[in-house]
Amino acid sequence: MTDRPLPAGATIGILGGGQLGRMLSVAAARLGYRTHIYEPAANPPAGHVADRVTTAPYEDLDALAAFAEAVDVVTYEFENIPASALDALEAHRPIHPNRRALTISQDRLIEKAFLRDLGLQTAPFAAVDDAEDLAEALAEIGCPAILKTRRLGYDGKGQARLNGPEDADTALAAMAGAPSILEGFVNFSREVSVIAARSATGEVAAFDPGENIHEGGILRTTTVPAQLTNAERTDAVLLAGKVLNALHYVGVMGVELFVTDAGLVVNEIAPRVHNSGHWTQNGCAVDQFEQHIRAVAGWPLGDGSRHADVVMENLIGDDIDRIPDLAREANTAIHLYGKAEARPGRKMGHVNRIVTKG
Amino acid sequence: MTDRPLPAGATIGILGGGQLGRMLSVAAARLGYRTHIYEPAANPPAGHVADRVTTAPYEDLDALAAFAEAVDVVTYEFENIPASALDALEAHRPIHPNRRALTISQDRLIEKAFLRDLGLQTAPFAAVDDAEDLAEALAEIGCPAILKTRRLGYDGKGQARLNGPEDADTALAAMAGAPSILEGFVNFSREVSVIAARSATGEVAAFDPGENIHEGGILRTTTVPAQLTNAERTDAVLLAGKVLNALHYVGVMGVELFVTDAGLVVNEIAPRVHNSGHWTQNGCAVDQFEQHIRAVAGWPLGDGSRHADVVMENLIGDDIDRIPDLAREANTAIHLYGKAEARPGRKMGHVNRIVTKG
Give the pLDDT confidence score for residue A319 in this predicted structure. Answer: 97
pLDDT tens by residue, A39-90: 999 999 999 999 999 999 999 999 999 999 999 999 999 998 999 999 999 9
Chain A residue numbers touching B47 (CB-CB < 8 A): 51
Residue A350 is assigned to a ligand binding site:
no
Which ranges of A216-319 does DSSP label H, i.e. alpha helix?
Answer: 230-246, 280-283, 288-296
Cα within 13 Å of Cα(B120), Cβ side: 28
Judged by CB atoms closer than 8 Å, whether chains meet at B49 and A47 is answered as: no
For B152, phi then psi, to 5°, come to 55, -160
pLDDT tens by residue, A217-243: 899 999 999 999 999 999 999 999 999
Is the fold of B124-184 the same as that of B190-355? no
Q: Taking the alpha carbons of B71, A327, A30, B193 in that order, is the dihedral positive or negative?
A: positive
Q: Taking the alpha carbons of B124, B125, B131, B132 in that order, is the dihedral positive or negative?
A: negative
Distance CA A142, CA A180 (A): 16
Superfamily of domain A190-355: ATP-grasp fold, B domain (3.30.470.20)
Q: How far is B272 from chain A (nearest CA, A)?
A: 21
Q: How far is A339 from chain B (nearest CA, A)?
A: 8
Distance CA A115, CA A308 (A): 32
Question: Which ipTM value was assigned to this complex?
Answer: 0.93
Q: How far is A199 from chain B (nearest CA, A)?
A: 13
β-pair partners for B53: B37
Judged by CB atoms closer than 8 Å, whether chains meet at A349 and B282 is answered as: no
Judged by CB atoms closer than 8 Å, whether chains meet at B338 and A34 is answered as: yes
Which ranges of B91-130 does DSSP label H, i.e. alpha helix?
Answer: 99-105, 108-117
Q: What single-letter DSSP state applies at residue B10?
A: -
Of A33, A51, A336, the CB nearest to B32: A336
Residue A322 is assigned to a ligand binding site:
no
Judged by CB atoms closer than 8 Å, whether chains meet at A29 and B26 is answered as: yes
Does residue B147 contact residue B175 with C-beta atoms inside 8 Å? yes
Residue A329 is assigned to a ligand binding site:
no
Judged by CB atoms closer than 8 Å, whether chains meet at B51 and A47 is answered as: yes
Residue A203 is assigned to a ligand binding site:
no
Residuewise pLDDT in 10s, chain B (358 residues): 446 899 999 999 999 999 999 999 999 999 999 999 999 999 999 999 999 999 999 999 999 999 999 999 999 999 989 999 999 999 999 999 999 999 999 999 999 999 999 999 999 999 999 999 999 999 999 999 999 999 876 555 678 999 999 999 999 999 988 999 999 999 999 999 999 999 999 999 999 999 999 998 899 999 999 999 999 999 999 999 999 999 999 999 999 999 999 999 999 999 999 999 999 999 999 999 999 999 999 999 999 999 999 999 999 999 999 999 999 999 999 999 999 899 999 999 999 999 976 5
Mutate to test the interface with A, among B6, B334, B347 (most CBs of A within 10 A): B334
Residue A38 is assigned to a ligand binding site:
no
Which numeric CATH code is attached to A11-95? 3.40.50.20
Residue A242 is assigned to a ligand binding site:
no
Q: Could you give the strand order of the β-sheet that contains A159-162, starting from the edge strand earlier in sequence?
A: A125-128, A180-184, A145-149, A159-162
Of A31, A282, A286, the CB nearest to B285: A282
pLDDT tens by residue, B10-51: 999 999 999 999 999 999 999 999 999 999 999 999 999 999
Q: How many CB pairs under 8 A join A and B?
A: 113
pLDDT tens by residue, B105-160: 999 999 999 999 999 999 999 999 999 999 999 999 999 999 999 987 655 567 89
Residues near B176 by beta carbon (within 8 Å), at least 6 away in sequence: none
Q: How many angstroms from the chain centroid is the CA of residue B349?
A: 16
- Delimit the domains of chain A by residue range: 11-95, 124-184, 190-355
Cα within 13 Å of Cα(A27), Cβ side: 25
Q: How far is A244 from chain B (nearest CA, A)?
A: 21
Of A5, A8, A49, the CB nearest to B49: A49
Which numeric CATH code is attached to B124-184? 3.30.1490.20
Judged by CB atoms closer than 8 Å, whether chains meet at B48 and A51 is answered as: yes
- Position B198: which residue type? R
Distance CA A63, CA A40 (A): 11
Distance CA A331, CA A334 (A): 10
